[in-house]
Amino acid sequence: MQQAINGWQQSGLSRKAFCEQHNIAYQTFNYWCKRVGAERTSGFTEINAEGLRSSGYEVIFASGTRMLFQGEPTASWLRELLR
């Protein structure tokens, strides 16, 4: 139980996505989290978007994954990216 929760917290995935990926029942996982007092999340993933000197952008996900691209992203594009 604790090992699965630790894995979820380090994955950067939502609870639902983590459960689907690891074939764990979502309700069961929520029960485990409540039982061990795991921090609840809002369902949002924190990202940092920083302008680069070459007029590109870098998105850094909470998991440490980095994504480089040219041009300024639109809000709708970022929403789709994070789904």
Same domain, 28 and 52: no
Q: Show the tokens assigned to 74.
A: 């639109």
The answer to whether position 42 is within a domain reads no
Determine phi and psi for 55, rounding to 5 degrees.
60, 30
pLDDT of residue 50: 57
Same domain, 51 and 32: no
Same domain, 32 and 52: no
Q: Report pLDDT digits (tens) over 16-42.
A: 999 999 999 999 998 888 887 755 555
Q: Give pTM, 2 decimals.
A: 0.44
Q: Write out the residue range of the structural domain in which residue 56 sits.
A: 47-81
Q: Show the tokens assigned to 40.
A: 């609840």
Per the CB < 8 A criterion, the answer to whether 8 and 18 are in contact is yes
Same domain, 54 and 31: no
Strand partners, 77: none
Please state the rounded mean pLDDT for residues 63-79. 76
Q: Tell me how many domains the chain contains.
A: 2
